C-alpha cells in the first residue's frame, strides 16, 4: 500500500453538477491504460492528490482500477469514480448486467457517475432514449450517484431531455484547442450540463505549434500545461492520461497560475472546427466490441 502524503495534495477546484454533487475539475483518465499498468498508475495518481478517476467498461481495466483504489488506502467516499456503458450493452438487460459487473470488478457499491459511452444513432434502431431511461433507473437505485452521457451531439441531447424530462449531469466530449466544440459546450452551459473534455491535449498532435511554444516560454510552462490550463480556464473537467509519476505531477501543476485573456484568445484561434476532430464522429460511430 502506498503512503499518502497529505502535504503533497494540491488544491483542485470542484464543479457542481445538476444533482447538487460536486466533482473535481481535474482527474486521472485511464483510456488506453493497459490492465497490467492500471493499478499502479491509479495508485500513483491518488497518492499525488488526485481524487477523480475515469474509466470505462470498454477500456477493459476496471478490475485493476479498482485494485488501485483499494490499495491507495484512501476512503471510497473521497474518490469520484466514473465508468461508462459499453457499446454492446445498450439493451436494458445488458445494461443492468454490465453495471452490476462493473461494480464487482471495481470492488465498489456504487459509482459516482455512469455514462452512456456513445449514442450509436445508427444501431439499436436509434433508440438511445430507452438506454437513457435505464440509466435513470440505475441512479434511482443508487448504483450510480449520477448519470450522464458521452459523445452526444445537441440533437441527441435534445431528444433524451424532451422524451424523459431529465437533463444529463455530464456530457463527456472531444474538446481541445484544434476542436474547441464551442457550440456544443454552449448548449451544455444553457442546460446545466457539465462539460468533460476527453483528449484535452488533442493526442499531442500540435503541442509544437508556434503559438504554444511562445506561450510556453512566456509562462515557463510546458506546452501541455498551457493547453490543460486553457481547458481549466474554460471550465472543462479534464483527466489527462500519463504513465509516470513525474508526468502526472506535471499535469497537475495547473492551479497556482492563470493565463491572461490575450493568451486564451491566442489558443482560441487555433480552433479548426470539424477538421480538427481526431476521434470518431458521434453520428457515425458504430463500433460494438465483442465483449
Cα four-point dihedral sign 74, 75, 78, 79 = positive
Check if the beta carbon of residue 157 is closer than 8 Å to that of residue 168.
yes
256 phi, psi to nearest 5 deg: -120, 20
Strand 194-198 vs strand 28-29: parallel, antiparallel, or unpaired? unpaired
Cα–Cα distance, 157 to 117 (Å, whole number): 13
Instruction: Identify the CA nearest to 115 among candidates 98, 251, 104.
Output: 98
Work out the burial of residue 193: count CB atoms within 10 Å of its CB; fewer than 13 is exposed, 13-18 middle, 19 or more buried.
buried
Cα four-point dihedral sign 76, 77, 78, 81 = positive
6's grid cell: 497529505
Active site residues: 59
Amino acid at each position: 500500500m502506498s503512503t499518502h502524503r497529505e502535504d503533497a495534495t494540491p488544491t483542485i477546484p470542484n464543479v457542481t453538477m445538476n444533482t447538487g454533487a460536486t466533482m473535481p475539475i481535474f482527474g486521472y483518465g485511464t483510456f488506453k491504460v493497459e490492465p497490467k499498468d492500471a493499478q499502479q498508475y491509479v495508485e500513483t495518481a491518488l497518492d499525488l492528490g488526485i481524487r477523480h478517476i475515469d474509466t470505462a467498461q470498454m477500456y477493459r481495466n476496471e478490475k485493476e482500477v479498482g485494485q488501485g483504489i483499494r490499495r491507495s488506502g484512501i476512503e471510497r467516499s473521497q474518490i469520484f469514480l466514473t465508468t461508462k456503458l459499453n457499446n454492446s450493452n445498450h439493451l436494458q438487460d445488458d445494461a443492468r448486467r454490465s453495471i452490476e459487473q462493473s461494480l464487482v470488478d471495481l470492488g465498489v457499491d456504487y459509482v459516482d457517475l455512469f455514462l452512456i459511452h456513445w449514442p450509436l444513432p445508427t444501431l439499436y434502431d436509434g433508440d438511445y432514449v430507452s438506454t437513457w431511461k435505464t440509466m435513470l433507473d440505475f441512479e434511482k437505485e443508487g448504483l450510480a450517484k449520477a448519470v450522464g452521457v458521452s459523445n452526444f451531439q445537441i440533437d441527441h441531447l435534445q431528444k433524451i431531455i424532451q422524451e424523459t424530462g431529465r437533463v444529463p449531469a455530464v456530457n463527456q466530449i472531444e474538446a481541445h484547442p484544434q476542436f474547441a466544440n464551442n457550440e456544443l459546450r454552449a448548449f451544455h452551459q444553457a442546460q446545466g450540463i457539465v462539460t468533460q473534455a476527453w483528449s484535452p491535449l488533442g493526442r499531442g498532435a500540435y503541442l509544437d505549434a508556434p503559438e504554444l511554444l511562445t506561450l510556453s516560454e512566456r509562462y515557463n510552462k510546458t506546452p501541455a500545461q498551457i493547453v490543460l490550463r486553457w481547458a481549466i480556464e474554460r471550465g472543462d473537467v479534464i483527466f489527462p492520461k500519463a504513465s509516470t509519476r513525474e508526468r502526472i505531477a506535471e499535469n497537475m501543476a495547473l492551479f497556482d497560475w492563470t493565463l491572461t485573456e490575450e493568451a486564451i484568445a491566442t489558443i482560441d484561434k487555433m480552433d479548426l472546427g470539424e477538421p480538427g476532430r481526431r476521434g470518431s464522429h458521434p453520428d457515425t460511430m458504430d463500433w460494438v466490441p465483442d465483449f
